[in-house]
Structure 1
Amino acid sequence: MATALFCTFTSFGLVIPVIPRLVTEELHGSAFQVGTAFTVSGVVALLVRPYAGQLAQRTGSRPVMLLGSALIIVVAGLYALPLGLPGLFAARLVMGVGEALLFTAGSVWTVSLTPSERRGQIVGFYGLAMWSGLTVGPLLGEVVFRSGSFGAVWVTAAVLPAVSVGVLLFLPNSARLGTAVSTRLLPPSSVLPGLSLGCGAFGYAAVASFGALALTSRGIDNGSLLISLFSVAYVSVRLLAGRVPDRIGPLPVIVVSASVEAIGMVLIAFAPVLWVAAAGALIAGGGFTLLYPALALITIDTAPEEERGAALGAITSFFDVAVGVAGLLGGALAEVSYTATFLLSAVAVLGSLLTGTAAARRRSKYISVSVP
């Protein structure tokens, strides 16, 4: 399952460095239209995730993941067709649907197969497959484009999800709940964890969108390293400390994660040289990485079984919303000062302490009432 997720998210990441070239060089579009192309998929994924979770619980996760992978193959074909900017936007819309189906159904499947004492670790590893794909994908896309053409990128973008389909066909389907599935799109169990994850996402959004620009404005080269270092720390800490939420509980993890990520943001905000900003990116990525498994654990433990699919989809949707909001607010502040952008992110990240602590306490009360 993780292999299928890695391949498809590598396909998503593959086109990240290529789409700006396609829009501006081939389709004669603007920078705004580049941003729109990326925004479309995120908005659609946000809307579809809760439905995807419900569908996975009704039919089993494998058919939903297969449908998501098949749609991503279709996306690669749409990229290749000479349909101009409308065709590109249509492709990104379909990609958002495919991404939501694949990731959310896989989350439901992962939870159904995992013993309760290891849920935080396994859910964390599942999310790591997504991040690894988004880290490897852009590097692969740059290599494929420089050694081939747009066509070579589109072919590669189709082959990767085809591998996912092949992997999924060999896996048994997950259990189905049928008519027992709740129809709520925003289960109460997802609200506080989702808000906490959204606050934490401000740090990632700031580094990804404004890290390189902030350093360039200070006369510092190689600012693009920041997002790579953030990702390296994210992956490394998740691998080394993936069981921590299960062993010590979500609350201490949330407190440490949010505090550490905020420190990283402050370092980047005031970094006078590259190594200080690089240290900030490493610290922020290492802090942010355990926030999702800790919050997912809270969501799983407090959601009724019939709502778990929608709840897991919903907390991921909070991440999508937060990245979009952070981009808008951070971009507005960047017109005045990049330092202000990263300080805003630090303050937002600290908001994870409030909402995450409240969510963890709610979980403790829920468990104490549920256990006779």
Structure 2
Amino acid sequence: MTAIERLAYRRVVALTAALFLSYLTVAMSLPAVPIHVVNGLGLGNAWGGLAVGIAFLATILTRARAGAWADRLGGKLCMQRGLILYALAGLVCAVASWDGLPAGTAYAVLISGRLLLGLGESVAMVGMISWAIGLMGHARAGAVIALVGIGMYGAFAAGGPLGLALLDRVGFAGLMAVCTMLPLVGLAAIHWLPAVAPQAGQRESFWRIIGRIWRPGAVVGLQGVGFAALGAFLSLYFLSRGWPHAGLGLTFFGVGFVAMRLVCGNLPDRIGGTPVAIASLLVEAGGQYLIWLAPGPYSALAGALLTGLGCSMVFPAMGAEIVKQVPPNLRGTALGGFAAFQDLAYGATGPLVGILADRMGYPPVFLIGGLAATLGLSMAISVPRAQARALET
């Protein structure tokens, strides 16, 4: 690695550290929001799932705009705007916990904050990935996306138990106050890093780009069902069974996720994304089926660990393939569209499996996650053939 490459790598690592701090806002709220809705506001599991999933809906609806911003304005400015939105989202959610509000009004304010959080995530994540790839070069796209994931899911590993601990000690308002401050720390941390100038070139419509990338996008979306189910309902699953360590599910997931990216982060750039995605989906499916059938908390935690190991490399594996297919001036838009497939899985899974949990309990939620990963495996196998046909035409 040359001196210039080492400097670029250190800058991306600094971005990853800032992302970790900022993404704690998302991670700490993920297990706390459904608990607050169900136990604090007295609403059902479906409403708790909707409160989690609505943020991902906002992300889906704004990915095209976020990608266009990243391509036109540059990744740095895009990420900075996203972190400001993170902070505003935490502030609105804190207002939603005011005791004087009726449950319905408090829930509506909470949903507003979650929508802001989803918008912030869309803008911040697309901006950061585009910025980081610009710093390191598209040949290292798989490694860049893997580092971004380390920041995100490292935050999930720490944020799950931390969020539940803060919820217990300072209440939902105190937790949201912390979630307001952390993105501002991240914003200050990235201020000194150099921007990368936007690339000039002919633009294409968002939907035309989606037509190019929908198969890898479907793979990453099906992968996301298992994580969404785990993030929204594993803590409630533990509590319903009277099991200890309810806050450790996301920790085990995050440890597996980060460990796999640390060990295998360069693998998609070396051997190609499809083999990595196929092996990963096999592991994820096994983890989800283990949680579904778990007789006790430790086997469920093992399933969460396997889910993290399996989910870890699917996004960078398929993302590296997509970066190779589009020119640099369309990279942000393509990555935004690609990420929207995962957002769709996150947004739809919460409310849909929440309805299932209300009727049948929590174990079938993880059966759905396992079946989705199995379907994603079959879709991943078809990606190389589809790409070969596209090249022939």
TM-score range, shorter chain: 0.7 to 0.9
CA distance in 2, matches of 1:33, 1:331: 8
CA distance in 2, matches of 1:95, 1:122: 23
Provide the secondary structure at the position in 1 that maps to 2:206. Answer: coil
Select which of 95, 111, 133 maps to 2:117. 95
For 1:342, the equivalent position in structure 2 comes to: 366
For 2:86, the equivalent position in structure 1 comes to: 72
CA distance in 2, matches of 1:265, 1:359: 23
CA distance in 2, matches of 1:180, 1:282: 44
For 2:59, the equivalent position in structure 1 comes to: 45
The Cα of 1:216 is off from its aligned counterpart by 6.5
For 1:319, the equivalent position in structure 2 comes to: 342
Amino acid paired to 2:131:
W
Answer yes or no: is the 8 Å Cα contact 1:187–1:310 preserved in 2.
no
Structure 2 unmatched runs, 5+: 1-14
Select which of 179, 186, 191 maps to 1:164. 186
Provide the secondary structure at the position in 2 that maps to 1:30. Answer: coil
The Cα of 1:69 is off from its aligned counterpart by 1.3
Q: CA-atom RMSD, angstroms?
A: 3.0
CA spacing shift, 1:76–1:323, aligned 2, 3 Å: closer
Answer yes or no: is the 8 Å Cα contact 1:57–1:181 preserved in 2.
no
Structure 1 unmatched runs, 5+: none
Provide the secondary structure at the position in 1 that maps to 2:124. Answer: helix
CA spacing shift, 1:288–1:75, aligned 2, 3 Å: closer
For 1:264, the equivalent position in structure 2 comes to: 287
Answer yes or no: is the 8 Å Cα contact 2:284–2:307 preserved in 1.
yes
For 2:9, the equivalent position in structure 1 comes to: none
For 1:57, the equivalent position in structure 2 comes to: 71
Answer yes or no: is the 8 Å Cα contact 1:194–1:315 preserved in 2.
yes
CA distance in 1, matches of 2:315, 2:66: 19
Percent identity between the aligned chains?
Answer: 29
Range moving further from structure 2, 258-267 or 39-48: 258-267
> Are 1:299 and 2:299 counterparts?
no
CA distance in 2, matches of 1:141, 1:224: 9
The Cα of 1:222 is off from its aligned counterpart by 4.3
Tell me the TM-score normalized by structure 1.
0.86
CA distance in 2, matches of 1:169, 1:360: 40
CA spacing shift, 1:18–1:267, aligned 2, 3 Å: closer
Provide the secondary structure at the position in 2 that maps to 1:180. Answer: coil
Range moving further from structure 2, 301-310 or 265-274: 265-274
The Cα of 1:239 is off from its aligned counterpart by 1.1
CA spacing shift, 1:247–1:9, aligned 2, 3 Å: same
The Cα of 1:213 is off from its aligned counterpart by 5.3
Alignment coverage as a number of residue pairs: 368
Answer yes or no: is the 8 Å Cα contact 1:107–1:123 preserved in 2.
yes
Alignment of 1:1-372 (within 5 A): 1-20=15-34, 23=37, 28=41, 30-31=43-44, 32-81=46-95, 84-85=105-106, 86-148=108-170, 150-177=172-199, 180-185=202-207, 186-212=209-235, 221-222=244-245, 225-334=248-357, 335-336=359-360, 340-363=364-387
Answer yes or no: is the 8 Å Cα contact 2:76–2:127 preserved in 1.
yes
Amino acid paired to 2:278:
V
Answer yes or no: is the 8 Å Cα contact 2:50–2:350 preserved in 1.
no
CA spacing shift, 1:363–1:3, aligned 2, 3 Å: farther
Amino acid paired to 1:244:
L
Range moving further from structure 2, 271-280 or 102-111: 271-280
CA spacing shift, 1:114–1:342, aligned 2, 3 Å: same
Range moving further from structure 2, 12-21 or 318-327: 12-21
Q: State the Cα deviation string for residues 300-325 of structure 1 (Å, max 9, x = none).
A: 11123333212211221111211333
Q: State the Cα deviation string for residues 220-239 of structure 1 (Å, max 9, x = none).
A: 55465433322211111111
